[in-house]
Structure 1
Amino acid sequence: MAPEVMNSPELRIEVSIDRQTLALYRGDSLLRTWAVSTGARGNGSLPGSFRTPTGRFRISEKIGHGAPLRTAFRSRRAVGLWRDEDRGDGILSRILWLDGLDPENANTHSRYIYIHGTHQEHRLGQPASHGCIRMANADVIELFNLVPEGTPVTIHAPTIMQRKLIFFDCDSTLSTIEGIDELARAQGDAVFREVEALTNAAMNGEIPLAEVFPRRMAIIRPSKAVADQIAQLYVETLSPGIEGVITRLQAENWTVVILSGGFKPLIEPLAKRLAIEHVEAVPLHFDDEGNYAGYDADYPTTRNGGKPDIIRDWRASTHAAKVVMVGDGISDLESREACDFFIGYGGVVERKAVREGADHYIRKMSDFPFDKL
């Protein structure tokens, strides 16, 4: 059957983000359907977004002919078989590289969007990729053998609202510490007192975040060694009961996202401990010697209104059915307008405005209102 299919000019591929399937057609005849994973962060075409583009495409290149099942590719070159201990977004077995044919997805080739095999076959059927279209390794080899370069591909945008998103603040919510204060504490008592006062003023809504961020970082200027120490402290100071809350939410098919005005490299070890894949937090930079080299001053959570902007972006990209935010500060409460439900948390610091503005308020994670979600 393969030669007949390959010679057919009517061959086409259709990918459904709603159903997480890839279907191969010849004319109006359905030939095959396979389970896939599209972007965990939804659909979109911005570079660096890790989202799956939608619209019209074609297969521009086929890579990996004859390679053994589960061959790993880096920069589209075979580097041996994938090992279970390997890390990262495994691109395995075959690569079908896509070109975008619409103005909005014309950057698809330069974004390196592929149809490829994966080491996470157990997650097929749900959005889980970094923007590419993942398939089972045997399936992608079958598809590779059936289609020629130039085969048209359509990726259909979602139409069914089914994703459930829940965003958690990190500092004084997932963890009992304020990371910025701990960075300051490591620089001495005088620095700590000055930064703590600025942090509290920001969290209470007394000073705009956009003003507080550069003032604090000009004072602290943390090294990578200090940042690594605070990253470990985050892991050691998880809020009591939070592990059970996250586990249950994930079991109930909630996509959990950490949304923080803290620094991403400090928060990532905590995210890994809680098996949370998505961290929206401020990039922090160091030079080759580990000295402070600044932060991304344009990142949305460095300013007031940044958190709701990120939530709206996630909601639109994933076509989410329900969105929840959990946090302790004013910047979290600002997100109420972009959410369906806001849970205020006062287990570390209680702020009157957050308590009064929340749809539901808790002081213990064991009281998490699953029944209201």
Structure 2
Amino acid sequence: MAVTVRDDRLSRSVMFLFVGAALVLLGIQWRAWAANRQDTTTTSNTTANVKGTQSSAITANRKDGFKGNSDSATTATTLKRSAKLVIDLSDRRVYVYREQALVTSYPIAIGQAGWETPSGSFQVLEMQRDPKWQHPITGEVIPVGAANPLGKRWIGFLYEGRTHIGFHGTNQEELIGQAVSHGCVRMQNRDVVALYDQISLGTSVDVRP
């Protein structure tokens, strides 16, 4: 009997030892798991913050880019509106000014005797790309092309009844610099295209004798 009692106590001691060790191991594992979970949560929050910051930066950049393009378009329009044209009939050139400063000039052909280009102060009233031309006597309409006497652009600045005066290109560029038109201001086609792109409706036109 005594031997049997001693064995029960030993068994209980061994059992308590194993249970205690198991509890210690469980506690260590639980602490490691809790620490791991906290690190993961912190990393997720940091990643979310970085993503949010990058998204905000991209949005800001897009807004800034759009604003820059808008400012550029506004500046171009303002420059066109500030342009002023001066036609000097005596030296047969048109001068482009912007804010009182001369930007450029182009040679022109002017009205012949009896069809003189009128002098005075005017403003651009009409602008057309690749205009069609109607013969004043026959009424025939000449389409865009090499035979069209208006060339590549029309910039009208005087309308009185059936009289229409303005800048236009020509199919006879060799006559630029002479008094050969019926009152209009003829220009080389490349020059009238360049002029067209520098002005807008309402641009002032000063014609000097």
- Determine if the TM-score, normalized by the shorter chain, exceeds 0.5: yes
| 1:21–1:36 contact (8 Å) kept in structure 2 | yes
> 1:130, CA displacement in angstroms?
1.3
| 1:24–1:33 contact (8 Å) kept in structure 2 | yes
The AA in structure 2 aligned to 1:92 is: G
Structure 1 residues 5, 92: CA separation in 2 closer, same or farther (over 3 Å shift)? same
| 1:37–1:125 contact (8 Å) kept in structure 2 | yes
Tell me the matched-pair count: 132
The AA in structure 1 aligned to 2:150 is: I
1:127 equivalenced with 2:176 (yes/no): no
Cα distance in 1 for residues equivalent to 2:170 and 2:88: 18
Q: Which runs of 5+ in 1 are unaligned?
A: 42-48, 101-106, 158-373
What SS is found at the alignment partner of 1:119? Answer: coil
| 1:3–1:146 contact (8 Å) kept in structure 2 | no
What SS is found at the alignment partner of 1:113? Answer: strand
1:27 equivalenced with 2:92 (yes/no): no
Q: Which runs of 5+ in 2 are unaligned?
A: 1-71, 136-140
Query: In structure 2, what is the equivalent of residue 152 of structure 1?
Result: 204
- Summarize the alignment of residues 263-342 of structure 1 with structure 2, pairs less than 5 Å apart: none
Identity score, percent? 24
Structure 1 residues 5, 132: CA separation in 2 closer, same or farther (over 3 Å shift)? farther
Q: TM-score by structure 2 length?
A: 0.56
Q: TM-score by structure 1 length?
A: 0.33
Q: Of 135, 149, 152, which aligns to 1:93? A: 152
Cα distance in 1 for residues equivalent to 2:100 and 2:76: 13
1:7 equivalenced with 2:66 (yes/no): no
Structure 1 residues 116, 131: CA separation in 2 closer, same or farther (over 3 Å shift)? same
The AA in structure 1 aligned to 2:185 is: I
The AA in structure 2 aligned to 1:80 is: V
What SS is found at the alignment partner of 2:174? Answer: helix
- Greater RCO, CA 8 A, separation 6+: 2
RMSD between superposed Cα atoms in Å: 2.6
Q: Of 89, 112, 115, which aligns to 1:17? A: 89
Query: In structure 1, what is the equivalent of residue 121 of structure 2?
Result: 56
Cα distance in 2 for residues equivalent to 1:132 and 1:121: 14
> 1:4, CA displacement in angstroms?
4.5
Cα distance in 1 for residues equivalent to 2:96 and 2:90: 17
What SS is found at the alignment partner of 2:164? Answer: coil
What SS is found at the alignment partner of 1:14? Answer: strand
Cα distance in 1 for residues equivalent to 2:128 and 2:118: 21
Q: Deviations over 1:144-202 (max 9, x none)?
A: 11100110000101xxxxxxxxxxxxxxxxxxxxxxxxxxxxxxxxxxxxxxxxxxxxx
Query: In structure 2, what is the equivalent of residue 138 of structure 1?
Result: 190
Query: In structure 2, what is the equivalent of residue 345 of structure 1?
Result: none
Cα distance in 2 for residues equivalent to 1:95 and 1:111: 14
Q: Deviations over 1:125-151 (max 9, x none)?
A: 222211100000011011111100110
Name which one, 1 or 2, has greater alpha-carbon Rg: 2
